[in-house]
Structures are given as C-alpha cells and as structure tokens.
Structure 1
C-alpha cells in the first residue's frame, strides 16, 4: 500500500489536497490507521489520483469528478465521455464569452489611452533620505509581479506628489505600499514605473544616511548617490490606480508579535486552495480569525467559523518579513475582504493580501 506522502508524490496532488478529497468523499483511502489516523492507499488508486489531478487542472467541478471516478472502472464509459464533453463545452462557451468581453474592453482602453496625458512629461528632481528610500523599497519589493502578460506589474510605482513619495508594488494577489519624505519638488503629481532590475540597482546604492537625488526625465529614471548612479528606462505602461484599493472596509485589528505569529504560521495547519496560482499549482493557505480577546489564531482544519479569513501562507510570511517590525498590526474584515498587515508606528507602510477560497 502507498502512504499519503507517496500517493501525493506519484499522483500529482499535495498531501493537504488528498486529505480534503478524503473528507469530501472523492478519493477515500483504502485504510486509515485507527491510532495515528494515517492514510494508506491501494496501488490501483494511483490511477484515480492522477485522473483526479488532471480533472482538477481542467477546472472540472468536484460533483462531476465524483461521478467520473465512480464510473471510470466500469464497463460502460458513456457517462464519463458525456461528463468530459459537457465540461469541455462549458469551457468553450466561457472562453467565447470572455473573448467578446475582452474585445469590448480593448476598444474602451484604446479610447481611454488616446485621451490620457502622461503624468511624467516634465523633468522632476528631488532629494530623498537614503535610509527612508531603502526601507520603502524593502517594504514593497516582495509584492511585485512576474507575469510576462502584465509587464507593468514587474516594476515598482514611484508616485511623487508634493513633498511625498509613495512606492507601490502588486502582482494582483497582494499589494504593498510604503512612503518616504522628499525635498526639492513640491510640484504636481508625477508617476513613473521603475522596472525591478533598476529598482534593485537603486537599492544597492542606498547604504548610508545621506540624501540621494532622484531624477525623472520623461521615461528615464536616475538615482544619484554621491558619484554613483543607477539609471534606466521606466516601464511605458500605466500602473493601476492603487488609491482605489487601499480604502478597505472596517475590520477587526489585532497586534501580533511577529516572531511568534510567524512560528504559528510555519508550524500550524494549512489547507489547499481551490484557485490555482500562476504556475498552475495549488498553494497552501493559512486560515485566520481574530478571537474575542483580540488574539489572531491559525485555525485548525475542522474550524469553519464564518469569520475565518484564508490567505496564501507564503505571501503572508513575505509580508511579515517586509513589515520589518517586532510587532505588527493585522486587520481582518469579512472572509471576502483583503487582509492588511500594517506597522503600528507607520501606517503609511502596509501590505494587502487578497483572501483565497479554501477547499474545506
């Protein structure tokens, strides 16, 4: 018989996914140790696990998968063929509808772009404390995207307005915002998206406490630190309007000791997501809730309280690191509302994580 770890490795499913499919009655182990609760599978169940993994990657609903698995070994395969054909038809219809909507959206975007004027048309020069700019870059770098289809998200927005500089990064699933003081500008708003390689080169220059000079000349961005500089072309795309995303519904706030909370996340229970990440793999989720006494807990597998919020555990651990404080402030709203990670002493620097639907 195969252990759950062996079945996960050979079947293309995670251990947490196999536990879920057992509870859902989709792929039930042949034997469960009554003492340890450990699951064991018959060799012939490996084919079912691989089939299940393929059907989930194709986005088939669990109810249909249950029927496919129940009929797979039978002599009459008409039901299986019918279910596969029906699901394929749904996907084709959905793709046709999506193409029609995206065609309309592209036309709207073309009209919008023709009406817009660049926010970075004039030359902008300003001074920034090196330590503040370094801290701001460290606070947002982790949230930048890597999707080749959305190149503008592969950079960091430098949003200059008055005497303030905001840095913003997002990959659609999370967003980070930080700020730094500036002098020497004080003019109208200017935005420029700095590609990640250039942002990393800028960060390498920020090793002291001195003032550094930031220059935006059209689509060229330069950071000068003494006799050293990092310069390059900005990304020629408009960054999403992050200001519309940071006004979150009121939620429950709770202070957490960063080290203790990190340990609770790393050693606590995880669940599997129903939605797939960009690389096609499921992600581990941590399910959180603020208790009546104001403590944030990592919920057990059987905890289905309506106030629970599930987030990508890896993303949350990254946000804790970027928070760079021994104590952080978590803000949790409804299960469908983003989770915010804030600094108690600087709420201008924060991260937002989108909630994820868990399979539980």
Structure 2
C-alpha cells in the first residue's frame, strides 16, 4: 500500500514513540482501547496515524499508574475534564489502597514480632454510652458469612470513643466522651456483648462505666456488675474511607429538615405508597421520597410513582432546583431502614442530607456532627 503506509507509523515506531511495548499495543488493539488506523489485509501489519501518538502516550501513563483497562479505554475517548475527574478518582483509590497496605503491614509486623499489650481504660457516662449504643445498634450486620460486620467498632480516641456499625446497606456513627488512660485502640465488640452492656446502662446512675481493653480482652464494670469478653478477631472496614466515598468532601446539595413525627407516621401508614423492585432476586417495596412545595420531605403519592420511573421531568416546581436542572429529586429507600435511622437518631427534628437520587443519604441531628447514619439509596 505505497503512499498510504508512508504517512503512517508501524507498530514498532509507535512503541518507541509512546513507551508501550509492541505486545502491549497488540493487547490494547484486541481490547478495543487503541485500534490501528489501518491493518494490512495481506500481511496483517498494524499502522498508526500521527494523531494516535498522544493517545498511546496517555495509555502508557495510565498503565504505569495501574488504572484498570476499562477506565483506560474510557479515558482515551473522553474530554479533558472527564479525564481529570478519572485521574482524581484513581488517585483517591491509590491513596486508600496505600492506607490499607500500611495498616496490613502494621498488623503483619505485630504477628512477626508481637509486643506486650498495654491496657487502655475509659471512664464513661452511662447516659452518653447508652445514647451512643442506641444510635448505632440498628446498623449492626446479621449475616453469618460476614462476621466482620456482626459487631460494633469501638474506636478509642484521646478524649472519647467513637462507635461504628454497618451492614453494608447502612452505616451509623456516634461518639461518647470519656476520660481515657492509655493509648488509642480499636476493638470490635460482638453484638451479644454490646447488648449485655446496654442492658445494664442506666441514664439516671451517676456512677461511671469503666471499660478496660487489654489486647483482645474486654472488661466492663457497670452498675456494680462486671462483664468480660473477647473482641472479635476481625479487621473492621475503614469507616473513614467509607464515609469519604459515600458523602464526599463537599457539603451536601440538599439539607432537608425533617418533621420526625410526621415522617414516622407516613412511613408506618399501611397505605403508604411504594414501588415494587427486585433486590437479590427478591421483591422489595421501595419508598420514594420527594420534595413538597416548601422544600420539605414527602412520600410521593401513588399518582406520582409512575412518573418517578421517568429519567427526567420538569423541575420548575421544585424550590431547591438550580437553574437548568431537569431531574426531579426522587430518591428510593428502604422505608424500614429509614424508620430505624429516625428512631436511632432520636429527637423531634432531624436533617436529611443528600446530593441526588443515587447518592447515599445522611440522617443527622442538628448541631451534632458526631452522631449520624448513612443509608444507601435504591435505584428506581
């Protein structure tokens, strides 16, 4: 094909220009990431155009930083702004992976060269501890195949303890102040022991709860009784990373005040509207949340539920809509999970925070940044 090939580059020339090997170029051709401009039908030689050199260099760089092949394929075809977003997301994944690796290496060092465990003792208010347990207990997992989620994480800090629980569909956090003697420690407490401790807590009792952690051993002195147990031998998920992924670094787009009594009544009404969806092969009744004309939360009535399945609609009636928006704020949730979150948070007024129909929802107490729960939405 004289006259044509002279304007093109052979696979070896592109390899030298891009930093990719010839075998890598063949792979990215077969994967549909970087296809040659021309393939000689007789010899099978691949030929590449000048304008493919820059994409090939991009592929080489993305490969060096470990970006998955499907994302490399998308980046090659994306606009620059989208590529920057993909790079930011990949960098966050790398940072999280490095943090996970640091924790795992620390655990391995402890296995190789164990050091004597030191005690950490906390003195806590029974009322504060009871409130914290109540705020997270509903989110404890019950799947025997995921024992790491069948407990409450106690993340001891210099001046208190953070309680965390998740079952993958919801995540709950709360904090209790404490006088702490000893180093910070993280310990996963089985739900049975958590329930035993909670049963002994009396908000009217002024005597502090004494919690002692020594390695995997736990001892709790409360109300004149002592409970002893052993921490679960599992590494609880990095809840801080989960929060970053779920809620993001920016404030939520929507902050909707909740009339808890009215919302609870609506959710428990036998005639409350729902839409049928399948989850893990089983039917699930999904509650659809929307906004009323004052920007408050409402359950969408049956007449609106068919429209809720539409990809877009006029948002001119939505007082929180920004200019040019076309999607109505319609969010599918498990109504029972939302009821649990309302009950756990307590108080007549709460705030629901979210960014859109497929982003997690946060249920918060006004003025209390340490106690809240996160619910995963259900795609409509």
Query: Which of 209, 212, 226 is residue 212 of structure 1 equivalent to?
Result: 209
8 Å contact from structure 2 (residues 289, 300) kept in 1: yes
1:262 to 264, 272, 290: 264
Q: Which residue of 1 aligns with 2:299?
A: 298
Change (3 A) 1:120 1:325: farther
Q: Confirm whether residue 238 of structure 1 aligns to residue 235 of structure 2.
A: yes
2:278 corresponds in structure 1 to 274
Q: 1:112 to 1:188 in 2, by over 3 A?
A: closer
What TM-score results when the alignment is normalised by the length of structure 2?
A: 0.60
Give unmatched runs, 5+ long, in structure 1: 1-108
Superposition deviation, residue 322 in structure 1: 0.6
Structure 2 residue aligned with 1:322: 344
Instruction: Give the Cα–Cα distance (whole angstroms) in 2 for the partners of residues 345 and 353 of structure 1.
Output: 20
**Distance in 2 between the 1:121 and 1:296 partners?**
50
In the alignment, what sits opposite 1:347? 369
Distance 1:346 1:209 in 2: 23
Q: Shift of the alpha carbon at 1:335? A: 1.3
1:140-175 Cα deviation digits (max 9, x unpaired): 001000111110100000000110211010000001
For the 8 Å contact 1:275–1:356, the answer to whether it is kept is: no
Q: Distance in 1 between matches of 2:138 and 2:117?
A: 29
Question: What's the CA shift string for 1:223-254, capped at 9, x where partnerless?
Answer: 11243012111101100111122241423011
Contact 1:166 1:179 in 2 (8 A): yes
What is aligned with 1:170? Answer: 166
Alpha-carbon deviation of 1:115?
Answer: 4.6
Unaligned runs of 5+ in 2: 1-99, 314-326
Q: Distance in 1 between matches of 2:120 and 2:178?
A: 12
Distance in 1, matches of 2:242 and 2:293, equals 28
CA distance in 2, matches of 1:303, 1:136: 40
Q: Distance in 2 between matches of 1:217 and 1:340?
A: 34
**What SS does structure 1 have at the residue aligned with 2:194?**
helix
Aligned counterparts of 2:176 and 2:125: Cα–Cα separation in 1: 8
RMSD over aligned Cα atoms: 2.3
> What pairs with 1:1-360 in structure 2 (closer than 5 Å)?
113=104, 115-116=106-107, 121-185=117-181, 188-207=183-202, 208-247=205-244, 248-249=247-248, 250-267=252-269, 268-276=272-280, 281-291=282-292, 293-300=294-301, 301-304=305-308, 306=327, 307-358=329-380
Note if contact 1:275-1:357 (Cα within 8 Å) is conserved in structure 2: no
Distance in 2, matches of 1:328 and 1:135, equals 16
Instruction: Give the Cα–Cα distance (whole angstroms) in 2 for the partners of residues 260 and 180 of structure 1.
Output: 29
120 and 339 in structure 1: CA distance in 2 versus 1, 3 angstrom threshold: farther
Compared CA separation, residues 348 and 114, structure 1 to 2 (3 A): closer
Q: Secondary structure at the match of 1:261?
A: helix
Tell me how far apart the structure 2 counterparts of residues 226 and 296 of structure 1 sit (CA, whole Å). Answer: 42
Does the 8 Å CA contact 1:328/1:342 hold for their aligned counterparts?
yes
Report which of the two structures shows the higher radius of gyration computed on alpha carbons: 2
Is the partner of 1:176 in helix, strand or coil? strand
Does the 8 Å CA contact 2:257/2:352 hold for their aligned counterparts?
Answer: yes
Q: Is the 8 A contact 2:120 2:183 kept in 1?
A: no
